[in-house]
């Protein structure tokens, strides 16, 4: 009896973000395709070798992407938006990036969050007459490369029903399921290519099984997998992120040879699957958490799997709960990390080793890994008993929070009049989301300060020069509500975490968010407290440079929670409320300093929503309460903004309204203002700033294009409640395109002011 082992995917950015730098060099024209391909080959080879060295039974291929795995699947299927005019059967790497980032002629493909993660995928665009054109050359090449290293390759692809569910129809109206027969044939062709390459197992990811699917979509699984079974490849049907035990009977009847379940996020489902698994299937249990960075309790997990081993024998596989894409690559480069806390952590490379240790113990007995288990046990004991984790002061303060602390004194309809009188803003007021270009000079300045090469006062003065530049640029552009540009901030979560107790920071704990964009989530290991103001000095300085309103810029408690690696020894709700109190203190200090427009960004609110609707109410109650706790302690004349991006909001609009922010800014440019319709249908009561251009693309839209979007916005939201802004922060953009885009944005706002005033005058005359 031999229990098998594998992972669902590995990070593709490289341990020190090699892919990011190679991509950006290529986009700048500083390197060619060959150089980019060489970097990719090196990363993939190292990833495969890591799995081979850990003695995993199967080595995963197909998890690498130059930009996004959903885009990879679209390329494999030849599902390319016609509007680009590309030959779907032969897409160059440069054209791939045009799809992802847009070009002079076409905006980029729409982008949104991958389920409840902070990873963004590119949404496939479907046409009724699409002809799928399969191309698997890239993944076949990787299969050959793994075999040359001595590994057993297991290709991974996104399943047909997940692909179809997440895709969107553009410019037509038809039922997506009408495409299923031709899509299924395309997938059959992919499997035939794997079969011809003598691939034994294929991992087909169908994470939509974790959602509340309509019955006809569930029924489609029977048809699709019945047809794919005729090819003859062994299929591991992969689910993750949720408990899918409600579908046991249906999945067990599917003609697939294996099923993967998430045993880290939903351990309650393991027993049911072990008890009901048919004798002709394998069960892969994702026992190692692919979404967090805490070291596994190997002894406990081995004990947990013993009953599954007894029941299933060699039909048991051990793996990660999901792809390790959501974790940093390796602890190898974390030499400066607090050694006590470092010993509590495991990144992707260490998680692969943990799988190897657990599998070896199950196959050979605990005696075969005595040393490894002793180290694991010691780390668990140290973390449980550390005095650094809890604070009586923080816990007592949280216990004293009252309901009144989460409620603005005056309803929005009354306080907005006071704010309008105080701020004296025009119709269609213009602003930006917060950050301005993080130039090479700024990044080098921050790095030099971090290395101790620049003293604190010198650093402050030089940062103030960049703040002054940002303010001057906005004044020249005639923007109405300004921001200080965030030159001093490395990341919207990390910056604040560095000023809070209970956080620790890595040097290379990077995780891909989209394309070359990587984030370095801080680690919440203990109770949270804000010992001193974090943003007051820079914001007050920026306000001193202008007579226009200056926004205070903060990250909200739910985004701080979602975009950190969060402690798993207490409910997330408690950590969120601790964060809310810290942000509340900062809001009140900003107000005391004379800042009367304060933005508390919550782009991750929708991302944190549980995948099952049955669990929404509980999450939304404490998430909204946390935001209100952070924002409600201000005067009526202080205007609270919030920002959300790249999410579907329509199903939680009552909860967004319950946040009671005076102004919400949202991403709508890539969806051509379609996301805004739900706010209109719902009759959202407060002010809204729909993004009028996509900051993730270097493309600068015209004044007419932005005016068109604002006209569409006026069809669903009264002009008196509309703000004008980009769809997100400008950190990743250059100054030249930023000036051009913001100039067009301001011009569009002024055109709309004249148009609406003319219409109002005409109505008055009638």
pLDDT of residue 682: 85
Q: What is the pTM of this model?
A: 0.89
Q: Which of 606, 637, 640, 642 lies closest to 623, judged by CA? A: 606
CA 292, 298, 304, 308 torsion: positive or negative?
A: positive
- Binding residues for L-methionine, by number, are 433-435, 486, 601
Helix (H, G, I), strand (E, B) or coil at 597: strand
10 Å CB burial of residue 381 (0-12, 13-18, 19+) is exposed
pLDDT of residue 236: 98
As a whole number of angstroms, the distance between CA 692 and CA 308 comes to 53
- Binding residues, by number, are 17-20, 113, 118, 433-435, 486, 517-518, 563, 601, 607, 643, 645, 667, 728
- Numbers of helices and strands, H then E, in the chain: 27, 21
As a whole number of angstroms, the distance between CA 233 and CA 618 comes to 42
Q: How far apart, in Å, do the first and last CA atoms of the chain sit?
A: 87
From 326, 449, 466, 696, active-site residue:
696
Residue 179 and residue 78 in contact, taking contact as beta carbons nearer than 8 Å: no
As a whole number of angstroms, the distance between CA 116 and CA 207 comes to 11
As a whole number of angstroms, the distance between CA 179 and CA 558 comes to 38
pLDDT of residue 607: 85
- The domain ranges of the chain are 4-385, 426-499+534-760
With vertex at residue 677, the alpha carbon angle to CA 676 and CA 681, rounded to the nearest 5 degrees, is: 125
pLDDT of residue 398: 96
pLDDT of residue 489: 92
Asked whether the domain spanning 426-499+534-760 has the same topology as the one spanning 4-385, the reply is yes
Q: Which residues contact 755 (CB under 8 A, 6 or more apart)?
A: none
Residue 640 parent element (H or E) = strand 639-644
10 Å CB burial of residue 351 (0-12, 13-18, 19+) is buried
User: Per-residue pLDDT tens for 598-612?
Assistant: 999 998 898 899 999
Q: Residues in the chain with pLDDT < 70?
A: 1, 646-648, 669-675, 766
Q: How many Cβ atoms are within 10 Å of 307's Cβ, its own excluded?
A: 13
As a whole number of angstroms, the distance between CA 68 and CA 355 comes to 26
pLDDT of residue 679: 82
Question: Rounded to the nearest 10 degrees, how much is the dihedral formed by the CA atoms of 292, 294, 299, 300?
Answer: -60
Q: Which two tokens stand for residue 661?
A: 């922010």
Q: Which two tokens stand for residue 321?
A: 């709960």
pLDDT of residue 532: 96
CATH class of 4-385: alpha beta
Residue 329 and residue 349 in contact, taking contact as beta carbons nearer than 8 Å: yes
Residue 666 and residue 644 in contact, taking contact as beta carbons nearer than 8 Å: yes
Give Cα separations from 287 to 8, 207, 385 (angstroms).
12, 17, 24
As a whole number of angstroms, the distance between CA 240 and CA 158 comes to 12
Cα-to-chain-centroid distance, residue 178: 30
Region of residue 554 (phi > 0: left; psi between -120 and 50: alpha; otherwise: beta):
beta
Annotation says 276 is catalytic: no
pLDDT of residue 245: 97
Helix (H, G, I), strand (E, B) or coil at 237: strand
- Binding residues for Zn(2+), by number, are 643, 645, 667, 728
Q: Which two tokens stand for residue 449?
A: 């300060």
Q: Which of 62, 46, 167, 109 lies closest to 514, judged by CA? A: 109
Helix (H, G, I), strand (E, B) or coil at 240: coil
pLDDT of residue 359: 98
Bridge-based pairing of strands 511-514 and 517-519 is antiparallel
pLDDT of residue 650: 78
User: Per-residue pLDDT tens for 667-699?
Assistant: 876 666 666 777 878 888 999 998 888 887 788
Helix (H, G, I), strand (E, B) or coil at 521: coil
pLDDT of residue 554: 98
pLDDT of residue 671: 63
pLDDT of residue 673: 67
DSSP 535: S
3-state SS string over 62-104? Answer: CCCCCCCHHHHHHHHHCCCCHHHCCCCCCCCHHHHHHHHHCCC
Q: Which of 271, 247, 250, 136 lies closest to 193, judged by CA? A: 136
CA 755, 759, 765, 766 torsion: positive or negative?
A: positive
CATH class of 426-499+534-760: alpha beta
Residue 552 and residue 594 in contact, taking contact as beta carbons nearer than 8 Å: no
As a whole number of angstroms, the distance between CA 506 and CA 394 comes to 24
- Binding residues for 5-methyltetrahydropteroyltri-L-glutamate, by number, are 17-20, 113, 118, 517-518, 563, 607
10 Å CB burial of residue 216 (0-12, 13-18, 19+) is exposed
CA 117, 122, 128, 134 torsion: positive or negative?
A: negative
As a whole number of angstroms, the distance between CA 239 and CA 261 comes to 5
């Amino acid at each position: 009896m031999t229990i098998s082992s594998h992972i669902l995917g590995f990070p593709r950015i490289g341990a020190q973000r090699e892919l990011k730098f190679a991509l950006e060099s290529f986009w700048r024209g500083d390197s060619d395709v060959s150089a980019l391909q060489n970097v990719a080959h090196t990363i993939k080879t190292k990833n495969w070798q890591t799995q081979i060295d850990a003695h995993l039974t199967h080595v995963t291929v197909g998890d690498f992407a130059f930009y996004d795995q959903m885009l990879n699947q679209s390329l494999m299927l030849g599902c390319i938006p016609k509007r680009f005019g590309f030959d779907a059967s032969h897409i160059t790497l440069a054209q791939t990036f045009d799809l992802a980032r847009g070009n002079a002629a076409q905006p980029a493909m729409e982008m949104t969050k991958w389920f409840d993660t902070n990873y963004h995928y590119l949404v496939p665009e479907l046409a009724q007459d699409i002809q799928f054109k399969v191309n698997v050359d890239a993944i076949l090449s990787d299969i050959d490369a793994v075999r040359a290293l001595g590994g057993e390759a297991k290709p991974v692809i996104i399943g047909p029903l997940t692909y179809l569910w997440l895709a969107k129809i553009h410019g037509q109206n038809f039922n997506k399921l009408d495409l299923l027969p031709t899509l299924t044939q395309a997938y059959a062709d992919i499997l035939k290519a794997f079969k011809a390459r003598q691939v034994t197992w294929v991992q087909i990811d169908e994470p939509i099984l974790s959602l509340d699917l309509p019955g006809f979509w569930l029924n489609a699984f029977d048809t699709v997998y019945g047809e794919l079974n005729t090819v003859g490849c062994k299929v591991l049907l992969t689910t993750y992120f949720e408990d899918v035990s409600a579908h046991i009977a249906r999945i067990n009847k599917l003609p697939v040879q294996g099923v993967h379940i998430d045993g880290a996020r939903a351990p309650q489902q393991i027993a049911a699957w072990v008890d009901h698994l048919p004798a002709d299937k394998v069960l892969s249990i994702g026992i190692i958490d692919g979404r967090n960075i805490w070291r596994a309790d190997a002894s406990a997990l081995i004990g947990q799997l013993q009953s599954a081993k007894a029941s299933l024998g060699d039909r048991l596989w051990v793996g990660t709960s999901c792809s390790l894409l959501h974790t940093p690559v390796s602890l190898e480069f974390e030499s400066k990390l607090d050694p006590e806390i470092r010993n509590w952590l495991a990144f992707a490379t260490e998680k692969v080793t943990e799988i190897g240790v657990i599998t070896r113990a199950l196959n050979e007995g605990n005696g075969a890994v005595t040393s490894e288990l002793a180290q694991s046990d010691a780390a668990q004991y140290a973390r449980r008993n550390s005095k650094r984790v809890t604070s009586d002061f923080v816990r007592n303060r949280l216990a004293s929070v009252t309901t009144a602390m989460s409620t603005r004194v005056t309803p929005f309809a009354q306080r907005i009049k006071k704010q309008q009188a105080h701020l004296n803003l025009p119709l269609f007021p213009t602003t930006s989301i917060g950050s301005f270009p993080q130039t090479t000079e700024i990044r080098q300045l921050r790095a030099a300060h971090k290395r101790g090469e620049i003293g604190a006062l010198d650093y402050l003065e030089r940062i103030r020069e960049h703040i002054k530049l940002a303010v001057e640029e906005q004044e020249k552009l005639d923007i109405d509500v300004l921001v200080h540009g965030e030159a001093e901030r490395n990341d919207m979560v990390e910056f604040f975490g560095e000023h809070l107790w209970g956080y620790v920071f890595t040097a290379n704990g990077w995780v891909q968010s989209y394309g070359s964009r990587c984030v370095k989530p801080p680690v919440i290991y203990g109770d949270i407290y804000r010992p001193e103001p974090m943003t007051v000095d820079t914001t007050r300085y920026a306000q001193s440079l202008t007579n226009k309103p200056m926004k205070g810029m903060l990250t909200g408690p739910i985004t701080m929670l979602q975009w950190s690696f969060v402690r798993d020894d207490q409910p997330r709700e408690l950590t969120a409320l601790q964060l809310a109190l810290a942000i509340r203190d900062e809001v009140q200090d900003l107000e005391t300093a004379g800042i009367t427009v304060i933005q508390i960004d919550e782009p991750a609110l929708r991302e944190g929503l549980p995948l099952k609707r049955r669990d929404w109410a509980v999450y939304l109650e404490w998430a909204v309460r946390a935001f209100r706790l952070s924002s409600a302690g201000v005067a009526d004349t202080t205007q609270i903004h919030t920002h959300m991006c790249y999410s579907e909001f329509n199903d939680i609009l009552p909860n967004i309204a319950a946040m009671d922010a005076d102004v919400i800014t949202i991403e709508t440019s890539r969806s051509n203002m379609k996301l805004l319709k739900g706010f209109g249908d719902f009759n959202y009561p407060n002010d809204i700033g729909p993004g009028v251009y996509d900051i993730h693309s270097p493309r600068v839209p015209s004044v007419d294009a932005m005016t068109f979007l604002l006209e569409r916005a006026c069809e669903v939201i009264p002009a008196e409640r509309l703000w004008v802004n980009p769809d997100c922060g400008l950190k990743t953009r250059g100054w030249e395109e930023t000036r051009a885009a913001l100039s067009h944005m301001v011009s569009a706002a002024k055109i709309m002011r004249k148009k609406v005033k003319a219409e109002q005058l005409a109505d008055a005359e009638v």
